[in-house]
Structure 1
Amino acid sequence: MEADTEKLSRRAGRGTVTAAEKAQAREVSLRRIGRLFAPHRGSLAAVTLIIVASSVVALASPFLLRAVIDTALPERDTTLLAWLTGAMVVVAAVTAALGVVQTWIATSVGQQVMHRLRTDVFTHLQRQSIAFFTRTRTGEVQSRITNDIGGMQTVVTSTATSVASNLTTAVATAVAMAVLSWQLSLVSLVVLPPAVYLTRRVARMRRAITAQQQRELADLNVTVEEGLSISGIQLSRTMGAGPALVQRFTGSSERLVDLELRSQLAGRWRMASTGVVFAAVPAVIYLGAGFTTTLSIGTLIAFTTLQAGLFRPLLGLMSVGVSLVSSLALFARIFEYLDLPVEVDDPADPVEVDPSRMPGHVRIEDVTFAYDGADTAAVAGVTLDVPAGSTLALVGATGSGKSTLAALVARLYDPDAGRVTIDGVDLRDMRLTDLAAVVGVVSQETYLLHTTVRENLRYAKPDATDAEIEAAARAAQVHDLIAGLPDGYDTMVGSRGHRFSGGEKQRLAIARTLLRDPRVLVLDEATSALDTSTEKAVQAAFDALSRGRTTITIAHRLSTVRDADRIAVVDHGRIVESGTHDALVAQHGRYATLAA
């Protein structure tokens, strides 16, 4: 099984495996599910004790009823009758109170388990590499955290207590029935084997349907994410794809309706047949009692009351069994994400560094890297040395490997061969938080959060003061723009920052990165969306801020890299030329062609 799962994991990296195959490849262990409740042993023990106490107290009711019918009423003993009926009320009150306490504790435990699952999945996904998110649909990830974990809520919250409650009640009731009449008890229990068999059949049917439902919900989430985001709406309007999206959403929703109907009706006739058999048992007991004179009327009524009380927990146990088996498909999907290996992680024994004291000497040593599923390496055998405080510019055609080198410096990926170091420390030996404090990245794809301008900037440095935020904005030539907004720095950015132009968003992103004051700046087409005058202003700010810092710039506009200390020309993942602007132009090589 582990080998099969490993094979599927490798296939998953290439995007050729379905969710169904993954779920089938990993059997969910009930022991693993049980470990989710391990931190709550004390609370579960208290719930169990309450359940046992409630079941024992509730068993007094049939015996009190027998005493009323066989003794108090025939003998017209009003004093005994008063005591017996009063005891019935007390029993009802005590069991009700215990039920409230039991529900409170059980729900609290269930919600804490749900909370832990949600946070564990979110935390683990935060640690995944960029490669995972490039091959996984955003709606799929959201569906796992919301729909799958939400679908498990009833099972997680009530399964353990339902099993304990129903099992305790069933055992106690069976003992009480045997005390009253062991012969009638045998008649009552004869229906159990077929009922158990039918329940297992129904559980297997519902598990398969549940897996289908969650996959369909994930597809629905993807459609919503892609069709109702700002970018999605703009694309559908300009492409006239609205009707096709509606049709896609409608089809997915209709399939969910069908699956829900199948889930609710799965085995319904089988379970209904079991219910009919259960209902017929009292009739058989009454018939049998007619042929014997050894049972009193009070005993018969008490027994049938107990017998009805026995079938309820038995049906409850069967129902819980169906729900639990059905939910295994959900647990499989959640555990699948929790079991994902972390490709870019903190080292087991990190090198202690002080980000504020690191000069920022970057070395790329014989680095080779290929993306998952790619036939050729994105970069191959690249060696570059960027002394602290110097500037390196990477130029070349689109797809030549420039952005890949930048991603390796920020450790968004780890090289397949070679290493990247800062001040002699391999990036893989540094904590990710330390590296993020050392290396700041401004990319050509700007992402702004749906919150205020101030909070968007403070995202880079949560403890930043308003003065620091304003200084970073001024350095990025965006303060005047922000000051002119309706609420200044407290203006809502909107979804993905679509209220701003591309140049404005990029300047905000530059300010956000500068607020962290990193020792190494990676500028991946950071000024590509700026007009000429704004680009000059921002470039001037970068020139001032780059003094004393290591800067790696990727640009198509060679005008922005003319003054770099060193320019490297990248072609098909290799460095083909390297030198200053004047030296490269004099060589009349690839750079001279680009600069012409």
Structure 2
Amino acid sequence: MRNPFQPLKKDNWVKPYMKKYKGLLCLILVLGLLTFFCGAALMFNAGYLISRAAQRPDNILLIYVPVVLTRAFGIGRPTFRYVERLTSHNWVFKVTSDLRKRLYLTLAKDAAFFQQHFKTGDILALLADDIGHLQNLYLRTIFPTLISWFLYIIIVIVLGYFSWFFALGMALLLAIIVFLLPLVSIAVTGARVMQKKQLTQQLYTDLTDNVMGVADWVISGRENDFIAKSQPTLKALRKETLATKRFEWRRDFCIQFVFAIISVALLLWTNRYFTTSPAAVNWAAAFVLSLFPLIDAFAPVSQGVEEWPIYMSSVTRLNDLKPQEQALPQQAKLPTTVPPISFQHVEFAYPNESNIINDFNLTVNSGEKLAILGQTGMGKTTLLDLLLGDLQAQKGAITIAGVPVAALQEQRKELIGMLDQKPFLFNTTVRNNIRLGNLEKTDQEIDEALKAVQLGPLMARLPKGADTIVEEDGARFSGGEQQRLALARLIVQDAPIILLDEPTVGLDPITEKALLRTIFSVLAGKTIIWVTHHLQGIQNADQIIFLEHGKINMQGSPHTLYQENARFRKLYALDSGE
């Protein structure tokens, strides 16, 4: 079996935080020890008190101290337990807060890298599972295991004070629970829990794809296929879960059986050791009863470490989460006039795939309106990502006013604005959402932008006008209204280059036509590159290109293509329903 501690040798996601909060960690361990000490001491005093009271002492003062101690330990046990849980969860919340912030900054540092190398489901698995696993690593594994080890040492030392031979025997029996069965759990369930993790991650990916495309499933009448697609993975996951439960039942039975042996051995030893006098016999029940609360300290260790492979997988995955640092060239500064754009012999391929862009050449003149059409997967959106600098071409050059886009990243927000299929609206006021385009814009300028996109009458009807909350993800507004709000954001951004990535998807034809008319009206002086999947509003473009297999298959103005290209006329007729 591979060394289970190997991922921790070069770890920077677990050990640093144990050092950072080591004082709080020590407090947690002390409180945990005190909790189980009070539990064992409570039963110890109760056993002694019962035995001593059965002898009918002449004076109540002879059992007064055990009575007081029983009360004290009875109060101390839940008190220390509560404080230990409060402290341990506070510790974990501090750590996971740091971890989530760090993960967010890691993902945000190079979002394009993760979009290129990970599926959405993988990112959700990372956020939902891996950080959660680190939280469980502390709460369910590290804390209980360390406390059990300390208790193990204390018990052996205490028993050794009376009999080192008996202490050695107890050490061997307890070692079965503390060391042997946890190692067996890792060995037996290691591959199984990893399989469960892989299946769970596959479910994340499948369900993410399915849910995001649920409308297409319903429209195509394949609801049953939608439900059935995840069934094989669910069945395999259920099978692994049942097999794990069966092993856990057998392991827990072994733990209880070993404790039964320890109880009998302790009973026999105390009856032999503490029956030499009437006074000593009172200690027999005390020692035996003190054992039972300690079961709660030792039994969870095996359960906590059985998922160690999952935790280490998460640690490995997080430690490997290193976005590629893109070394940017010396940054240039362009005037914010409308610049020309040039693609020269551009080639691009995603990892382990063939080229999606092949020897692509294109010039977009200042103020020109370019429409890019083509089937899904032909590279339309990839061209926009290359122009933004989110992706880097393997060959060729992409320039704005003769300057490579990589040298314009610090000025990108001033040069390029974008309107995509589903612009995100934050759960704040309309004005705040628009002001994201330019934080320095006044309320009056924002109101003018809203009027320009024909939302003035709507703002007048809202309870608080432009200070109305848009609700989460813009739920207060329709799809067309959301796009107009995003368009107003572009107006206040005032970038000379505008990228439109199918902004009318999901809109009805009337709303789509009206929105396109508004877009090309308010952005009349800008350079526009418009990715679209059909020909509604195509007359607004100065130039059209059709992409097929990463190359330009057709190119020209709408009028020229309609006059000279039979394929374009056919597509136009189909799209317009003629």
Q: Is the 8 A contact 1:110 1:157 kept in 2?
A: yes
Q: Residue 266 of structure 1: SS of its match in structure 2?
A: helix
Q: Which residue of 2 aligns with 1:81?
A: 63
Q: Which residue of 1 aligns with 2:522?
A: 541
CA change 1:36–1:259 in 2 (3 A) is farther
| Matching residue's letter, 1:560 | N
Q: Is the 8 A contact 1:377 1:573 kept in 2?
A: yes
Number of equivalences? 552
CA distance in 1, matches of 2:568, 2:225: 46
CA change 1:493–1:267 in 2 (3 A) is closer
Q: Is the 8 A contact 1:368 1:415 kept in 2?
A: yes
Q: Which residue of 1 aligns with 2:361?
A: 382
Q: Which residue of 1 aligns with 2:187?
A: 204
Q: Which residue of 2 aligns with 1:514?
A: 491
CA change 1:223–1:167 in 2 (3 A) is same
Q: 2:144 aligned to 157, 162, 172, which one?
A: 162
Q: How far does the alpha carbon of each residue in 1:236-273 deviate from its partner, in whole angstroms, 9 at most, with x for none?
A: 33322223333445665555544443333324223313
CA change 1:402–1:259 in 2 (3 A) is closer
Q: Is the 8 A contact 1:410 1:441 kept in 2?
A: no
CA change 1:463–1:144 in 2 (3 A) is farther
Q: 2:419 aligned to 434, 442, 445, which one?
A: 442
Q: Which residue of 2 aligns with 1:7?
A: none
Q: Is the 8 A contact 1:174 1:310 kept in 2?
A: no
Q: Which residue of 2 aligns with 1:371?
A: 350
CA distance in 1, matches of 2:186, 2:120: 31
Q: Measure how far apart 1:65 and its partner are.
A: 7.0
Q: How far does the alpha carbon of each residue in 1:348-380 deviate from its partner, in whole angstroms, 9 at most, with x for none?
A: x78567798687565545533223344335042
Q: How far does the alpha carbon of each residue in 1:144-190 deviate from its partner, in whole angstroms, 9 at most, with x for none?
A: 42245445544333533323322222222221122133333233234
CA RMSD of aligned residues (A): 4.8
CA change 1:404–1:392 in 2 (3 A) is farther
Q: How far does the alpha carbon of each residue in 1:537-556 deviate from its partner, in whole angstroms, 9 at most, with x for none?
A: 43232114x3xxx5445676
| Matching residue's letter, 1:207 | G
CA distance in 1, matches of 2:93, 2:499: 43
Q: Which moved more, 1:288-297 or 1:369-378?
A: 288-297
CA distance in 2, matches of 1:243, 1:217: 21
| Matching residue's letter, 2:93 | Q
Q: Is the 8 A contact 2:336 2:495 kept in 1?
A: no
Q: Measure how far apart 1:440 and its partner are.
A: 0.8
Q: Measure how far apart 1:298 and its partner are.
A: 3.2
Q: Is the 8 A contact 2:417 2:493 kept in 1?
A: yes
CA distance in 2, matches of 1:525, 1:235: 17
Whether 1:269 aligns to 2:250 is: yes
Q: Which residue of 2 aligns with 1:11?
A: none
Q: 1:121 aligned to 86, 93, 103, which one?
A: 103
Q: 2:260 aligned to 279, 285, 293, which one?
A: 279
Q: Measure how far apart 1:304 and its partner are.
A: 2.7
| Matching residue's letter, 1:171 | I
CA distance in 2, matches of 1:273, 1:531: 68
Q: Is the 8 A contact 1:472 1:515 kept in 2?
A: yes
Q: What pairs up with 1:187-266 in 2 under 5 angstroms?
A: 187-192=169-174, 194-195=176-177, 196-222=179-205, 224-226=207-209, 232=214, 234-248=215-229, 255-266=236-247
Q: Which residue of 1 aligns with 2:540?
A: 560
Q: Is the 8 A contact 1:419 1:426 kept in 2?
A: yes
Q: Measure how far apart 1:441 and its partner are.
A: 1.6
Q: Is the 8 A contact 1:478 1:507 kept in 2?
A: yes
Whether 1:303 aligns to 2:287 is: yes
Q: Which moved more, 1:202-211 or 1:101-110?
A: 202-211
Tell me the TM-score normalized by structure 1.
0.73
CA distance in 1, matches of 2:219, 2:567: 40
Q: Measure how far apart 1:415 and its partner are.
A: 1.4
Whether 1:416 aligns to 2:394 is: yes
CA change 1:264–1:377 in 2 (3 A) is closer
CA distance in 2, matches of 1:87, 1:356: 82
| Matching residue's letter, 1:511 | A
Q: Which moved more, 1:271-280 or 1:360-369?
A: 360-369
Q: Residue 543 of structure 1: SS of its match in structure 2?
A: coil
CA distance in 2, matches of 1:574, 1:74: 101
CA change 1:160–1:200 in 2 (3 A) is closer
In structure 1, stretches of 5+ residues that fail to align are 1-22
Q: Which residue of 2 aligns with 1:6?
A: none
| Matching residue's letter, 2:161 | V
Q: Is the 8 A contact 2:186 2:309 kept in 1?
A: no
CA change 1:513–1:324 in 2 (3 A) is farther
Q: Measure how far apart 1:36 and its partner are.
A: 3.9
CA change 1:24–1:488 in 2 (3 A) is farther
CA change 1:215–1:575 in 2 (3 A) is closer
Q: Which residue of 1 aligns with 2:120?
A: 138
Q: Measure how far apart 1:107 and its partner are.
A: 0.8
Identity of aligned residues (%): 17
CA distance in 1, matches of 2:168, 2:353: 68
Q: Measure how far apart 1:108 and its partner are.
A: 0.5
CA change 1:415–1:287 in 2 (3 A) is same
Q: Measure how far apart 1:407 and its partner are.
A: 2.3
CA change 1:364–1:323 in 2 (3 A) is same
In structure 2, stretches of 5+ residues that fail to align are 573-578
Q: Which residue of 2 aligns with 1:17?
A: none
CA distance in 2, matches of 1:322, 1:414: 47
Q: Residue 137 of structure 2: SS of its match in structure 1?
A: helix
| Matching residue's letter, 1:382 | N
Whether 1:40 aligns to 2:21 is: yes
Tell me the TM-score normalized by structure 2.
0.75
CA change 1:543–1:272 in 2 (3 A) is same
